[in-house]
Structure 1
Amino acid sequence: MKYPPSLTKAELLEIQARRSADDVLRLLWEIARLRRRIMKARQIAHMIYGKNDALGMLAEQFRKDLEEEAVVAEWNAEWAGRHPKGEENS
Structure 2
Amino acid sequence: MSLKVYTTSVTASREIKSLQAEVTRVLESKCKEFENVDISQDNCLREEMRTKAGNPTAMPPQIFNGDMYCGDGPTFMNAVEEDNLDEFLKLK
TM-score, shorter chain, exceeding 0.5: no
Q: Which has the larger radius of gyration?
A: 1
**Could you tell me the TM-score, scaled by structure 2's length?**
0.27
More helix by share: 1
**Could you tell me the TM-score, scaled by structure 1's length?**
0.28
More strand by share: 2
